[in-house]
Chain A
């Protein structure tokens, strides 16, 4: 069974640009969450999607957005990039049935560097 796949693995962007990151969850998983990992702030929750609907959102500015497609694949977008957006962006998928928390499986992440 394939794991969570994130593309691209590495990305270098210039301040002010926008970027789109992609995540393919484990087959059958309908919940996809995104996290930002930095040395200073650690792992922080960005948002979660379930069946194409955003169910939960973290404390990030509106420049951070996401969406989920009918096949459960998800994308996150960051507009007007700032140097502080440099981070490892992690995607996690869960096979959730009941609405309660279940185990999340993480991808390798996308390392975004903003210069």
Chain B
């Protein structure tokens, strides 16, 4: 079965620190990859997505992710985090068409001022 692994469950950073959240997926075929964010009390929002083309994807709020097919990875990065980035981050994959998202367990990020 397809699965998504997020390596860090909790991350604590100070403002201005750099962020990298790991994500690996198990499916070997064509995949669509996503990072979603859930701010406290809010709904899931899309940060960025990869369908095809340039493996370095830029999203909202200064986030980017790199798709490395050989490593089955789609890591999320941000060079300098802000307190407002405190949230839970989910990596997700769709494979085989349709709209069945397989989510990772999520990473809770806390940014301290």
- Which residues of A are at the interface with B, using a C-beta cutoff of 8 A? 3-4, 31, 33, 35, 42-45, 48, 50, 55-56, 58, 90, 92, 94, 96, 99-109
Contact indicator A99/B100 (Cβ below 8 Å): no
Which residues of B pack against A, CB within 8 Å?
A: 32, 34, 36, 42-46, 49, 51, 90, 92, 94-95, 97-106
Task: Evaluate whether A101 and B90 lie within 8 angstroms (CB atoms) in the complex, with A106-B43, A107-B43 already known.
Answer: no
Contact of B99 among A42, A43, A96 (CB under 8 A): A96
Which of B45, B98, B106 interacts with A48 by CB under 8 Å?
A: B98
Alpha-carbon distance A103/B60, docked complex (angstroms): 14
State in angstroms the CA–CA spacing of A100 and B97 once bound together: 4
Partner of B46, one of A50, A103, A108, A109: A103
Contacts of A102 in B (CB 8 A): 99
A92: chain B residues at CB < 8 Å are 44, 99, 101
Residues of A within 8 A of B95 (CB): 101
A109: chain B residues at CB < 8 Å are 43
- With a CB–CB cut-off of 8 A, which chain B residues contact A55? 98
| CA gap between A96 and B94 in the complex, in Å | 13
**10 pairs, A vs B, C-beta closer than 8 Å:** A42-B103, A48-B99, A92-B99, A92-B101, A99-B97, A100-B97, A101-B32, A102-B99, A103-B34, A109-B43
Question: A90 — nearest CB in chain B belongs to which residue?
Answer: B44
Q: How far is the CB of B89 from chain A (nearest CB, A)?
A: 12
Across-interface contacts of A104 in B (CB, < 8 A): 46, 99, 101
Measured CA separation A35–B94 after assembly (Å): 14
Of the candidates B36, B44, B98, B106, which one forms a contact with A56 in the assembled complex, judged by CB atoms under 8 Å apart?
A: B98
Smallest Cβ-Cβ distance to A47: which chain B residue: B100
By CB atoms of chain A within 10 A, which of B34, B94, B95 has the most?
Answer: B94
Query: Is B106's CB under 8 angstroms from A94's CB?
Result: no
**When A42-B105, A108-B43 are in contact, do A94 and B90 touch as well, CB less than 8 Å?**
no
Q: Shortest distance in angstroms between A63's beta carbon and chain B's nearest beta carbon?
A: 20
